[in-house]
Structure 1
Amino acid sequence: MLFSALVIATVLHIRSVVGDSKSGVVDIQPCSVATGVVSRSLSIAYSLNGNFSLCPDQSYQALRVSTWSGGDGGGQDYPLVFVTRQGRAVDSWTIPFQPPDFTIDFDGVNRTLCYNNMTSVSNSLAYVDVFTSFGENVSFNIVFDPVPNYTLQKDTWYPFQVGASTPQVHVFRFPDGVRTVTVQAKASSSRCAILSVQNVSCPINDLLEEIKSKGHYQTMSTDGFVTISRDVFKYSSFFVVLITTNYSECHSSDYVTLSPLYVNGTVLGFEQRIDVIIRPLQTAPVFPILFPLILFGVLYAITLVFIAVECLLKCRWSFPCKWVYVRKTNVSQDADGERLVPTDRTMGSLNTGGDHSSGDTAVEDSLQLHVMEKAERDLRLSHLCETQLKTLQSHYSVYSWNTVTVGIFYGLPAFQLVLSQQLLATSSGEEDLCYYNFKCSHPVGVLSSFNNVWSNVGYFLLGVLFIIVTFIRETKYTRLRKQKRPYFEKRGIPQFFGIYYAMGLALILEGVMSSLYHICPTNANFQFDTAFMFIIAGLILTKVFQNRHPDIHTNSFIAFFSFAVVIFFTLLGIHYDQRNPVAVRCSLLAITVFMVAGFFTSFYYFHRWKLSKAMFIKVFESWKFFSCKLLHPIRFFKLFGVFVINVIVAIVAIIGNKYIDFATTILTFFLLNVMLFLSMYVISKMCYREPWTLPPMVLPIVVCGLWAAALYFFMNSLTDWKLTPAESRHLNRPCSLMGFYDDHDIWHFLSAFALFFSFLFIMTLDDGIADWQWKDIHVF
């Protein structure tokens, strides 16, 4: 109503400017071209009659009015004005016609007449007023033609010629029993167009300046895909509107000059062929939704049954608990007479950062050098396990609480942001806000792509399962230590389950944050799920390191601060990588390599090196530090190899900046170092010929297979937020699993399995030396 009032007011104003002009009412017959002349003193009103005898096909449902001028008008300053009146529906346009962001004037415009409540054409009257304020005579042509294929049928392709001034408007009525449909459009060229789905009401917003103010719309280069529910529209029907637009709306590259379409010397617009098909979509199918629950439920059953059977049989090859069997050895043996469990004053305070006297510091530094000067093959777990286990247990238990705290404070604002984005996309109808795989997007409720959100349930379920496994393992370990306390006092790798619980919680939160990201995926919230991938990788690194260095615990607050620093670097890379990618990547990767080198340098000295005055004096006085002979040659070559690999990866990342985004580069860089550290750990176990149980021998094969399959589906990019929404939709592909899940959903399933079995591998890695004395366990 407001739009109609504005148009009428505009018409009255122009007519008042024209002044005392002559006008006439002319009957016009459909399918016949009428030629007229108007000027400042002459206007024409056309009345559409009901005689359709000239139309070759009289089975019409709608009419399209086509207007064009002879090019002899006053240009943009004195245009021809066309106003259509149909009851309360009023619409207008001008010739020459210049759409927004176009520099070319079009001499022809086509508009589809709108009929309120889908009233029959034969029962509706239509009037067209034509006038101008130009002083000279201006000629024009006008014709009313039936719209072919006005009503679209499901599962049928329809070809249309679409231009910037010649939009196509068609209607679709929901068949009985169909609740949701998908409107798919495929263009013959990579020009830019807009696909709009609007409610059946007048006026039809089919021009560029108004098409985005009604219904759902998206830009399209070669592919468009809109999913529509029956409940959205009042009359269970909707208009499908197509119109071409400026090239720059769809493409991030420089504007490409395109040649407009000329007909008899008249500029009609940039026309291209667009094919449209409408297909019914099954809404929330039961079995595909239950599939993840069944899939992961089977793993629940197998794991818990396996645990129960192993614990009942007390098998040596236990899974996942090795603690039901130990080798009978002499309990009285000690670690070469060395003090194993002293007070916290020796090394505990050193690692907790407590206050020290000068005498204590000298003693501690002397102990540091004692460890540093030992040959790697002579260093045993007894040398690095001097703090009371209860004290260490309290330190490691903080990891789980910090993980929960970070998840809550990070997750709530993230949920608020993505929910606001989703509601904005729903209310505005702009489907360019979120980067979905529109060819496999199943809406449920307020979620536009429920399948991408639901497929993350595996992270949650397997995170809970890992926590259950950890609890069972901890319970058995605690009970056996109480039953055989003297025997278990100094045997096996000291078990601290706080990091295991943190790993399970991080897996749960990875699923939660990935779900939040997929509510409305954009480059603004890409960090939501990758942040917890950094945390998971960091926890794995911490846990593997802690196995052989239990006394050197990393403060959990410092650890999470380190994760935040890595995420901050990634944030800088995301926002500045497009401006100067080489400089940004060189700077940030250099910092990252320096941090890795610092960590592995500390690793070379068994993390016992400390910046203090007494330490420097001892180092200066030690002749070994002046010789060319390496203290720990094996450890040095490990460090050197890792450093070389990191430099090579950094160079590849800089060279390949056009192919891999910076966030993925940093995450890959971080995960690679975790894999290197874990590989060094496994190789060292093999070099020292430590015994293996069955699970850590089988699990690597399973884990590698799962990660290989998962990465295959991950590399099949279905969206790319570095591109424009229209360019990203070119990567969309149909569902690949049960007609409900796409390749990225399969990545969610497989990566959840891979992470779970990776956790189990780390948990059972040292079960083979569960009954070894500390003096026999090497440090590496």
Structure 2
Amino acid sequence: MILRVLLLWLGLTAAPSSFAADVIDANLNQLYTNATEPNGVLSIYKYQVKQSQVVRVYLHSDNSSSVRPLLAVFREQRAVLSVQLPIRLEKNYFYDTVARTLCPFGNETLPANVGTDESAGAMTVELSCFSPTPVSYSLKAYLLDNFELTLGEQMSLSASPSQPVYLRYRIPKRLDSVVVIVKSNDEICMTVSIQMIGCPVFDLDNNVIFSGMHQTMTKQGAVPIQRSNLDDFYIVFVVKPNDDICSEMMSIQPASGPVHLDTRIKNFTVVIHELPTDSAYLVPMGVAVAAILVIYVLAFVHVSWVSIRDRRRWEEEGRAAVFGIDEETSSLNNPHYSYGATATSRSTISGSTEASDLPSSSGVSTIAGQEPSPDDINQPGPDLEISNEDADYDTLEDAKTDKSVARSKVNLMVSDLSLKPWKLRDKKYHLYTWNLLTIALFYALPVVQLVLTWQNTVRLSGDMDLCWYNYLCARPLFGIFAFNSIFSNIGYVMLGLLYLGMVKERELRYRRTVGAVHASVKTEFGIPMHNGLLYALGIAIMMEGILSASYHVCPSSSNYQFDTSFMYIIGALGMLKIYQLRHPDINANAHVAFGILALFIFLAMCGVYFNDVPFWAVFSVCYILVMFGVSVEFYFKGQWRLNRHIYYRLRHYWRSTTCISRIIPRFKGRFIFLLIGNLLNLSFVFLGIWVMPKDFPSFLLLPFTGNLFLYLMYYIFMKLLNKERLKMRTVLFLLMAIGCWVIAMWFFINAVSDWSETPAESRVKNHECILFNFYDNHDVWHFMSALSLFMSFSIFLSLDDGLQWVRRDKIVVF
């Protein structure tokens, strides 16, 4: 122990003689060109600087080496900063020039209990090098006059990886928040950091992320700041040695060896603009809610007008339809109903005569496909003796046979596909509603928890590259960076709720108007009334708003599936609803439909992380298999099942048909539609394989939206082809939906961010607000797409109203 103390004393006593200092009284704003003393002898430059002054030091050396670098120490009264030349950044990048702003110690940067002295104090620069030969250098210390930014004033700056820059700004008390906007004409990668006032300032590439908020940028960057979080701060600009963080990794060629660079200089401008105060947000938010409430009022007026008009017209047409059947129609007053397996229903299925033309053996006239209505399911009635002949028909085996015969007809009628009891079918379709509510509950709660946790992570870490916002129109509120992008989803929720109300009103109106004519014929005319899928659509629209808002808490590739999952569900439910209109008995069960949707949502998630050839091969196989299954179901109307008996059915079909009948399709209309649809879907698959888009979830929306539109157009075309007129309100809803979709898609295509690109590249697309200084392009897309969905699915509410008093055995299936 004594030996160690002795050696330490000897080293301390020997140090002054080994590193004798050469002190130079230096002046600010003067360039000093000199050389170091050999063997580490110090050269000290002493400056007189006031605490309120901000000093920047420039140092350059041509012949220093990484083995024996030039060492520089900048000493202030309360801080020390050291650098070496050449300065090494990352692994292989060396710079012979360095410029650093020394941490200012003005009155505002000191704690309240620390006194200040505005008199001049000493600031020293100590230079040394352990090279046996002198190392030349150039040194200059100068004052910064424009260190503090002012609101609205643009300042031009330049920086390099070894010459970072930072400025200061104080938010006035009259403002709630501001946005720092940085723009450049070049694509050099740079980090913009917002740090608290204090020392040290982290202004190098290897430490800039240690404090405050930070984001990368190339041509454009913006950082919104709330005064409640930070009212006085530094804005730090650090240029990256390379562009690998800001650009696609595959385009980067890393340096193979040491590289000396001093020409990587980025020129840029910075300006600070005030953001609307929190109270000013009430105006755009109130306007949006008021506009939606106007739609509520218009919908109420429309529904009231339709209710009054249709009730009077339906009663007139209904009476004419009932009393115009024939003299046996009077027996329809009997409250007992056939369930589609009577002798008269068999005659209708065979296509020979109508049910009303043949009297039943019990003296009760029945109609094919007759079933209890919603109001009459549990209605009691007097007992009626059924003859043995009718009892022979009313068996499960005969009912199955009748359905098989009916569905194999070339010209199918709705009565052929509505043989099951109404109550059984209605329970089936209401399962969509209950299943969707269960899915929404278990899906949404973890999503909301996750994104709020993620938002908190961003706030604590300060890494603004974790979320892909439109920072030029990010309106912070309640600790959320872009509250406007969340609030703009209110259209989905409110219009989805309005849609549910309209569906309920339609259901009640149907019961009142149809029941007012004659209770026993409710379910013998028109398209069967089932609202389960419509309720599911309304809930899905509302959930799209909730999950889209959750996604926009921190938009990124990791949670983009939150935004798209219910878009897939909406598209699928729309197609199922159209199919259910004239195929009520054979539509898909809820668990099967949601199981297939789960597969596509899983594929969408995989497409974000595994967008390569093996993934596209698996996706193509899955998509084609689903496409084949849907085509078989649509063509054969449920007569073919893909199960273990398929081989025997194919062998029987092959032996029982001729060669020509195998080639020529039996159902030509269905075949042509499926041919067009499958060609378009195959084109979609081949396009995906060829392009391999980075934004796979958005690409997957194409078949859902495209097939829904194609199916709706096919349905309308077939209605017109079969001389079924469209109601004027249906045409108006269709035209308004198309117009809204065109406008919405324009705003969607002109995106203001893109998570499939790097955060810096995405910020190039950032754009100022376009509406009320609060909403951007994507927010308008939210409003317009919500309105488009509402208009599109409102078509379903009146699409077949013209068939209300047309018998089901006269309504063609297509």
- Name the TM-score class by shorter chain: 0.7 to 0.9
Deviations 1:326-358 (A, max 9, x none): 462136558522652489xxxxxxxxxxxxxxx
* Aligned counterparts, 1:158-307, within 5 A: 158-233=155-230, 236-245=231-240, 246-252=242-248, 253-255=250-252, 268=262, 270-284=264-278, 285=280, 286-307=282-303
Looking at structure 1, the residues matched to 228 and 130 of structure 2 have their Cα atoms a distance apart, in angstroms, of 46
Change (3 A) 1:200 1:244: same
TM-superposed deviation, 1:501 = 1.0
TM-superposed deviation, 1:496 = 1.1
Match of 1:697 in 2: 731
Q: Which amino acid is 1:65 matched to?
A: V
CA contact (8 A) 1:463 1:507 kept: yes
Looking at structure 1, the residues matched to 227 and 799 of structure 2 have their Cα atoms a distance apart, in angstroms, of 55
Q: Which amino acid is 1:275 matched to?
A: T
Aligned equivalent of 2:369, options 337, 340, 353: 340
Match of 1:406 in 2: 439
Looking at structure 1, the residues matched to 799 and 318 of structure 2 have their Cα atoms a distance apart, in angstroms, of 16
CA contact (8 A) 1:164 1:269 kept: no
Q: Which amino acid is 1:243 matched to?
A: V
* Aligned counterparts, 1:422-437, within 5 A: 422-437=455-470
Q: How many pairs does the alignment contain?
A: 726
TM-superposed deviation, 1:506 = 0.3
Match of 2:706 in 1: 672
Q: Which amino acid is 1:82 matched to?
A: A
Looking at structure 1, the residues matched to 66 and 319 of structure 2 have their Cα atoms a distance apart, in angstroms, of 96
Looking at structure 1, the residues matched to 251 and 15 of structure 2 have their Cα atoms a distance apart, in angstroms, of 42
Looking at structure 2, the residues matched to 668 and 638 of structure 1 have their Cα atoms a distance apart, in angstroms, of 18
TM-superposed deviation, 1:277 = 0.9
Change (3 A) 1:730 1:24: same
Change (3 A) 1:244 1:470: same
Looking at structure 2, the residues matched to 324 and 298 of structure 1 have their Cα atoms a distance apart, in angstroms, of 33
TM-superposed deviation, 1:619 = 4.1
Looking at structure 1, the residues matched to 315 and 29 of structure 2 have their Cα atoms a distance apart, in angstroms, of 90
Change (3 A) 1:737 1:18: farther
1:103 aligns with 2:93: yes
Deviations 1:301-338 (A, max 9, x none): 11112222433455668xxxx78974621365585226
CA contact (8 A) 2:56 2:99 kept: no
SS in 2 for 1:226: strand
* Aligned counterparts, 1:126-145, within 5 A: 126-145=123-142
Match of 2:671 in 1: 636
Looking at structure 2, the residues matched to 684 and 17 of structure 1 have their Cα atoms a distance apart, in angstroms, of 99
CA contact (8 A) 1:38 1:139 kept: no
Match of 1:3 in 2: none
CA contact (8 A) 2:408 2:639 kept: no
Bigger Cα displacement from structure 2, 459-468 vs 41-50: 41-50
* Aligned counterparts, 1:587-626, within 5 A: 587-610=618-641, 611=643, 612=645, 619=653, 622-623=656-657
CA contact (8 A) 2:49 2:123 kept: no
Q: Which amino acid is 1:171 matched to?
A: R
Looking at structure 1, the residues matched to 681 and 548 of structure 2 have their Cα atoms a distance apart, in angstroms, of 28
* Aligned counterparts, 1:435-450, within 5 A: 435-450=468-483
TM-superposed deviation, 1:692 = 2.5
Deviations 1:43-71 (A, max 9, x none): 2333322599xxxxxxx941111122242
Aligned equivalent of 1:415, options 414, 429, 448: 448
CA contact (8 A) 1:443 1:449 kept: yes
Looking at structure 2, the residues matched to 487 and 700 of structure 1 have their Cα atoms a distance apart, in angstroms, of 31
Looking at structure 2, the residues matched to 506 and 745 of structure 1 have their Cα atoms a distance apart, in angstroms, of 19
SS in 2 for 1:277: strand
* Aligned counterparts, 1:751-762, within 5 A: 751-762=785-796
Match of 2:46 in 1: 47
TM-superposed deviation, 1:267 = 5.9
Aligned equivalent of 2:550, options 492, 501, 516: 516
- TM superposition score normalised by structure 1: 0.87
SS in 2 for 1:627: helix
Deviations 1:539-575 (A, max 9, x none): 1111111110111132111111111111122223222
Bigger Cα displacement from structure 2, 611-620 vs 552-561: 611-620
CA contact (8 A) 2:407 2:639 kept: yes
Identity %: 27
Change (3 A) 1:627 1:108: closer
Deviations 1:376-407 (A, max 9, x none): 2xx21111111110111111111111111111
Aligned equivalent of 2:58, options 59, 62, 66: 66
* Aligned counterparts, 1:300-699, within 5 A: 300-314=296-310, 326=318, 328-330=320-322, 332=328, 336-337=354-355, 339-341=368-370, 366-367=401-402, 369-376=404-411, 379-480=412-513, 482-483=515-516, 484-577=518-611, 579-580=612-613, 584-585=615-616, 587-610=618-641, 611=643, 612=645, 619=653, 622-623=656-657, 627-628=661-662, 629-657=664-692, 661-699=695-733
1:82 aligns with 2:72: yes
TM-superposed deviation, 1:635 = 1.7
Deviations 1:280-321 (A, max 9, x none): 11133221121210111100111112222433455668xxxx
1:733 aligns with 2:767: yes
Looking at structure 2, the residues matched to 592 and 298 of structure 1 have their Cα atoms a distance apart, in angstroms, of 42
Deviations 1:95-120 (A, max 9, x none): 11012254233343333342153478
SS in 2 for 1:489: helix
- TM superposition score normalised by structure 2: 0.83
RMSD of aligned residue pairs (Cα, Å) = 3.0
Bigger Cα displacement from structure 2, 247-256 vs 718-727: 247-256
SS in 2 for 1:33: strand
SS in 2 for 1:169: strand
TM-superposed deviation, 1:362 = 7.5
Q: Which amino acid is 1:237 matched to?
A: D
SS in 1 for 2:630: helix
Looking at structure 2, the residues matched to 382 and 124 of structure 1 have their Cα atoms a distance apart, in angstroms, of 99
TM-superposed deviation, 1:268 = 4.1
Q: Which has the larger radius of gyration?
A: 2
Bigger Cα displacement from structure 2, 449-458 vs 95-104: 95-104
In structure 1, list runs of 5 or more residues that go unmatched.
Answer: 1-12, 53-59, 344-359
CA contact (8 A) 1:97 1:109 kept: no
